[in-house]
Amino acid sequence: MDNATFSLRFVFLAKNRAKLITEYSIYINATLVNLGVLFAVGVAIGMSKEQDGAAGLSGLVAWLVATTVLSISGVAGLQGIEESAVDSAFGNIENVFIGILSGIVASIMYNRFSHVKLPDALAFFSGKRLVPIMSAAAMMIVSVVLLFVWPVVYNALVSFGEAIISLEAVGAGLYGFFNRLLIPTGLHHALNNVFWFDLAGINDIANFWASEGEKGVTGRYLAGFFPIMMFGLPAAALAMYHTAKTKRKKQAASLLMAAAFASFFTGVTEALEFSFMFVAPLLYVVHAALTGLSLAIAAMFEWTAGFSFSAGLVDYTLSLGVPIANQPYMLLLQGLVFAVIYYFVFRFLIVKFDLKTPGREDEDPGEGEVDESYSVEEGTLASEKDETAVMAEEIYQGLGGNENVLTVDNCVSRLRLEVDDMDKVDQDKIKATGVPGINVVGKHNIQVVVGTQVQFVADEMRKMHIKDD
């Protein structure tokens, strides 16, 4: 490309920048206004054992039942009152919470009824065809319960949101602190629903991209994450690398640098956070506190930017042209300051308390030994496979193989696995693959943090997961 062509393209982009941002905002809003139904379908598929399309259809059916029965006109008809007398809570029934609930109900119905055989006269409705019917029936019952419960829940959420809003910068800081602190439990999603979506009237993400609300205020619950995800966490990764044992620096670097890049570029932080979340809880509490501080500072000075996915470089760049963004460049300066804080605080605490962050684990003579003769496909050695397949195979061995693994699933960065006997799981063998972390959830469920390549590892493991019927 010659200089003239490059200049013309640059001028074109500069002149059409506002138009491009406006069009992108329209695309974002098209998704955000339909998040409820997307969650209904997505959760239903994701939580069903076979991740079948029938589960997604059932999630949609459950969503339609709930939003129809609990609509203002539906409630008015059920209660025999005028629509104007219906509780205002039912005016906001098409929200993410109802979507998630619909998806959960549909997935339960799928897992319970997808293989049920009915008598010959009703055989057409057997198996997967039965699932949408049962989902509709179950959601009808749930809707009747919500008829009485939803106004209480909704008004409590609104009161909670208003209380946080009244605290201004301090409220934003508290939200940021608990947002990170609750990640190990998964409850941060419930917290995010209150502030990011239109569950309690805040709706920070959609309002930012639509440039609605007050400049310097809209985006308050988003902006402070950019300094953390783009600068703070990558600096923490550098501190962990510098404090790793010399002979393990290479292994630590492969994990930490990839996770740091994912955090900076896309805002996906789980791989990095899980690398120290359980082995060094002190660091994680400090990380949560610094996240809260970052949100409080950004809110105090009314520096705002927004994201539709997460607080990485991609979303930051796209948000620069949104009219309601306020001094977003200051978040970069704030990020540089937080990078310094993260690096030195993490380095000090790791060395002071001898924390076992990646590359500082205790010596284990048998660690990393893998039986290379093992293979699900006869005659195939692990050494002949690509890196992803090797990792998948080693993790699968560590889980106990076909005899112990019941289900294989994944989210954005984690393998979600169900096993028959947790005592048969060799966590040391799994950790030897270089995964950032392992989280045991109950007697039969375990999560293995892989990172942004988790989908490919999960696909390889599904190929290995050959269970006898």
CA 126 to chain centre: 35
411 catalytically annotated = yes
Q: How many whole angstroms separate alpha carbon 157 and alpha carbon 151?
A: 10
Identify the helix (H) or strand (E) that includes residue 419.
strand 414-419
Closest to 159 (Cα-Cα) out of 124, 199, 130: 199
Q: How many whole angstroms separate alpha carbon 83 and alpha carbon 73?
A: 6
Q: Which amino acid would we find at residue 424? A: K
Distant-in-sequence, close-in-space partners of 332: CB < 8 Å, separation ≥ 6? 227, 230
Q: How many whole angstroms separate alpha carbon 467 and alpha carbon 469?
A: 6
Q: How many whole angstroms separate alpha carbon 95 and alpha carbon 153?
A: 13
Q: How many whole angstroms separate alpha carbon 324 and alpha carbon 301?
A: 15
* Side-chain half-sphere exposure of 65, counting CA atoms within 13 A: 26
Residue 152: other Cβ atoms inside 10 A: 11
Distant-in-sequence, close-in-space partners of 259: CB < 8 Å, separation ≥ 6? 237, 271, 272, 275, 436, 451
As given in the structure block, the two tokens for residue 410 are 């994944």
Residue ranges of the alpha helices (H) in 182-303?
A: 188-196, 204-209, 220-223, 225-227, 233-242, 249-266, 270-277, 281-300
Distant-in-sequence, close-in-space partners of 39: CB < 8 Å, separation ≥ 6? 96, 99, 100, 102, 103
As given in the structure block, the two tokens for residue 214 are 């007050």
Residue 87: other Cβ atoms inside 10 A: 15
* Side-chain half-sphere exposure of 20, counting CA atoms within 13 A: 11
Distant-in-sequence, close-in-space partners of 467: CB < 8 Å, separation ≥ 6? 402, 406
Query: What is each CA distance from 318 to 65, 337, 349, 357, 421, in whole angstroms?
Result: 37, 23, 36, 34, 47
Catalytic residue selected from 411, 422, 440, 441:
411
Q: How many whole angstroms separate alpha carbon 464 and alpha carbon 458?
A: 10
Query: What is each CA distance from 243 to 222, 288, 363, 396, in whole angstroms?
Result: 31, 21, 16, 30
The catalytic residue positions are 411
